[in-house]
Amino acid sequence: MTPPRDPGRLLMVMPYEQLVRKAVEAGFEVWSIWDPALRTPEYLDKVAAHSRELALVDFGDETALRALVARLAREHDVQHVLHLGSEATMAPVLAEAEALGLSPNTAESVRLLNDKHAMRGLLNAHGVSAVRARRADTLGEVEPLLTDFGLPAVVKPTNTAGSRGIALVRTAADLAEWTERVKAGGFEGPFIIEDYLEGPEFSVETLTAGGTHHVVGITAKQTTGAPGFVETGHVHPAPLDPADAAAVRDTVTALLDLTGYAFGPAHTEVILTPAGPRVVESQARLGGDRIPLLVEVATGYDIEAAIFRGLAGEDVTAPAPHRYAAIGFFQLPAGRLESVDGLDDLRARDHVHGVHFPYGPGDVLPRTTDSGTRHGYAVVDAPTPAEAADRIAAARTALRTTTTQTPKEALR
């Protein structure tokens, strides 16, 4: 089905540059809102180039943010308001959009996805992907709750992503280390305590249109494991037994049904335990770690563009993979970068679809503690998962660096 020639006017909050471009390509007129503290002027210029107007506001000022959403929507006769960026600022935007009658989702449906404790309570109440869990409103409540809950247990903030603030606690020493890390990261809670789920991990990308959930693909995750579970790589599609893949898909779509999610992408993380799939967390947004690129390399399907085609009225379908795609994150020693070589050769390889290394000589490579402190990545294609793993290993070897140690304070 061809999208209408004039699908309407769209207001997007925190839209990444390529999303604005793809919305315009689908026929929308786009107004954009960003916080200038979160992106460089050069990046915001790219957003503005595709937008009818780029408005700037402090996302930390929820009153000002809501007022700006309302003003732009009314002044420009906007038909839809979307927030596809970080979930941290979704709540006030969706509350205002819902009040204006311009959101394809209720604020409550998105809250149920984004808030880990709310999501877990919803699933447990309906006997879907049940996992024992407790909520601690403050950091001081975690230790006494853990005493009653029992170890081992996973602890994490209820509203973060990217492995930030998560840990497996087996001992008092683990709890002390996590407590210090949480304090240093400024996480004030609430926190969730859950049973430790053992098994391979997967990310499930979905695109919902008209209340129907389409599973775009399942991605196998590789992590450092306990205690921080930092993601080190992914392969798409996941090499899964068909029965297991069907169980994972059914679990994720059941979650989306329970929340009442009606439109847009969702990124859901699942562990395939001996008792079946268990949802770890979900967010009402596209997956990070370049997973949309992995999907496109493996299938030819542009999930970012499909969002706006679906909003414009085109039928949404799930893609079929014809090869594998993998991402591997560079794992370098922390310290001051003295030299770097091999990037041009790596980018020139036919099977490489993306390389990111945002450091140069003189920069300090941080110690990797979460997704935000990893050192870059390479994306490759391959005919098999084993060959994808070999190509990622070769990409890591191709990046040649030398570093010198610096004081711990400089690495934080």
In this prediction, residue 165 carries a pLDDT of 83
- Using one digit for the tens of pLDDT, what is the confidence trace for 259-315? 999 999 999 999 999 999 999 999 999 999 999 999 999 999 999 999 999 999 999
Mean pLDDT across 335-362? 97
Region 344-365 average pLDDT? 97
Share of the chain above pLDDT 70, in %: 97
- pLDDT tens for 301-317 read 999 999 999 999 999 99
pTM: 0.92
Q: Do you find a cis peptide bond into 144, omega within 30 degrees of 0?
A: no
Instruction: Provide, rounded to the nearest whole percent, the portion of the chain with pLDDT above 90.
Output: 87
What is the predicted pLDDT for the residue at 236? 98
* pLDDT for residue 408: 59
pLDDT of residue 4 exceeding 50 = no
**Model pLDDT for residues 203-242, shown as the tens digit of each residue:** 999 999 999 999 999 999 998 887 778 899 999 999 999 9
Instruction: State yes or no: pLDDT of 120 exceeds 90.
Output: yes
pLDDT at 159: 80
Mean pLDDT over 360-383 rounds to 94
Q: What is 198-322's CATH number?
A: 3.30.470.20
pLDDT score of 193: 96
Q: What's the CATH class of domain 325-411?
A: alpha beta
Rounded to an integer, the average pLDDT of 171-185 is: 91
Tokens of 410: 């400089």
Query: Is 347's pLDDT higher than 60?
Result: yes
Q: Which CATH class is domain 9-103?
A: alpha beta
For CATH 3.30.470.20, list the domain ranges present in the chain: 198-322, 325-411
Residues of the chain with CATH 3.40.50.720: 9-103
Cα–Cα distance measured from residue 10 to residue 24, given in angstroms and rounded to the nearest whole number = 9
On the question of pLDDT at 3 being above 50, the answer is: no
**If we measure between CA atoms, which residue out of 206, 203, 204 comes closest to residue 316?**
206
> Which CATH superfamily does the domain covering 132-195 fall into?
ATP-grasp fold, A domain (3.30.1490.20)
Where does CATH 3.30.1490.20 sit in the chain?
132-195
Of the listed ranges 164-168, 259-263, 400-404, the one predicted with least confidence: 164-168
pLDDT averaged over the chain? 94
